[in-house]
Amino acid sequence: MKKIRKVCLLLMIASLIFSSCTEEKNNIENNSKDENAIQAISYSNNEFELNDISGEIKSNFIINNNLFILENVDIENKIYKVDLNNFKTEVILSKSMMEDNVLSVCNYGNNILTLSYKLNYSGVQDVSIENENSDMDEFFQNIKPSMSIDEYDINGNLINSNLLDDENIQTVVSTYASNFGQFDAKMYIDKNSYKYIVIEEKIYVYDENFKFKSIINIPEDMSISKFIISNENHISVIFSENTVGQYKLYMGDIDVEKSIIQKQEELNDEEIFNGYGDYKFIKKKNNKIYGVNKDDKIILDLAQNYLNTNIYDFSFIDDKTILIMYLEDEKPTICILNRSENAVKDKEEIVLAVSNVDLEINKIINDFNKANNSYNVVLKEYPVEDYATNLYKDYVSGNIPDMMFINNDIPFQNFCSKNMFEDIYTFIDKDKDLNREDFFEGVLKAFEFKNGSLYSMPTGFGIKTYAVKSKFVNNSSIWTINNLNDIMSSQGSDAQFMVSLDRIQLFKEFIYFNINEYIDFEKGECYFENESFVKLLELFKNYKFDENDDVKYKNAEYIEGYKNDKIIMKRKDIQNLFFMKELEVDFEDEFSLVGVPSVEGEGSSVICPGFEISIFQKSKNKDASWEFIKHFLSEKYQNTKLDTFPIIKNSLFSRIETQNQINVFVDENGKTVEYASKYINGNYFGQLSQNEIDDSLEFISSINNVYREDMKLNKIFEEELLNYFDLGNSAERTAELLQNKISLYVAEIK
281-306 residue pLDDT tens: 888 887 778 888 877 777 777 756 65
The angle that helices 531-542 and 503-513 make with each other, rounded to 10 degrees, is: 150
pLDDT for the residue 508:
93
Positive or negative CA dihedral for 86, 90, 93, 95? positive
Q: How confident is the model at residue 127 (pLDDT cuts 50, 70, 90)?
A: very low
CB atoms under 10 Å from CB of 233, counted, come to 12
Distance of CA 445 to the CA centre of its chain: 30
Residue 67's SS3 state is: strand
What's the rounded mean pLDDT across residues 128-144?
55
- Give pLDDT, residue 556: 53
For strand 281-285 and strand 288-292, is the pairing parallel, antiparallel, or unpaired? antiparallel
Position 364: which residue type? I
CA angle in degrees (0–180, nearest 5) for 243-244-247: 45
How do strand 348-354 and strand 375-381 relate by DSSP bridges?
parallel
Number of residues that make up the chain: 750
Gap between the Cα atoms of 89 and 200, Å rounded: 33
Q: What is the pLDDT of residues 2-20, one digit of tens each?
A: 333 333 322 222 222 222 3
Count CB atoms within 10 A of the CB of residue 395. Answer: 17
Greatest mean pLDDT range, 147-161, 228-242, 472-486: 147-161
Extents of the domains making up the chain = 2-339, 348-459+610-657
The DSSP bridge pattern shows strands 281-285 and 100-108 to be unpaired
Do 204 and 149 form a contact (C-beta atoms < 8 A)? Answer: no
Secondary element (H or E) of residue 735: helix 731-749
Instruction: Determine whether 470 is exposed, middle or buried from the number of CB atoms within 10 Å of its CB (0-12, 13-18, 19+).
Output: middle
Instruction: Pick the closest to residue 534 from 746, 737, 708, 709 (CA basis).
Output: 737
Closest CA to 189 of 169, 167, 204: 204
User: What mean pLDDT is predicted for residues 649-669?
Assistant: 89
Per-residue DSSP letter, 29: P
Q: Given this model, what pLDDT does residue 402 score?
A: 96
Calpha distance 661→390 (Å, rounded): 49
**What mean pLDDT do residues 564-568 have?**
86
Three-state secondary structure call for residue 128: coil
- Report how far residue 518's alpha carbon sits from residue 528's, in angstroms, rounded to the nearest whole number: 6
> Residue 148: helix, strand or coil by DSSP?
strand
CATH superfamily for 348-459+610-657 is Periplasmic binding protein-like II (3.40.190.10)
Query: At 645, is the pLDDT very low, low, confident or very high (cuts 50, 70, 90)?
Result: very high
pLDDT of residue 31: 31
Query: Which residues in 153-172 are b (16+ Cβ under 10 Å) and which e?
Result: eeeeeeeeebebeeeebeeb
User: Does the reported pTM lie above 0.85?
Assistant: no
**Greatest alpha-carbon span in the chain:** 85
CA distance 458 to 609: 6
Q: How far is CA 330 from the centre of its chain?
A: 13
**What's the CATH number of domain 2-339, 2.120.10, 3.40.50, 2.60.40, 1.20.120?**
2.120.10
pLDDT of 48 higher than 90: no
Condensed to tens digits (0 to 9), the pLDDT of residues 324-360 reads 888 777 778 888 887 654 444 567 889 999 887 776 7
Phi, psi (deg, nearest 5) at residue 506: -70, -40
The pLDDT value recorded for residue 432 is 94
What percent of the chain has pLDDT above 90?
28
Bridge-based pairing state of the strands 663-666 and 684-685: unpaired
CA distance 570 to 352: 39
pLDDT value of position 130: 47
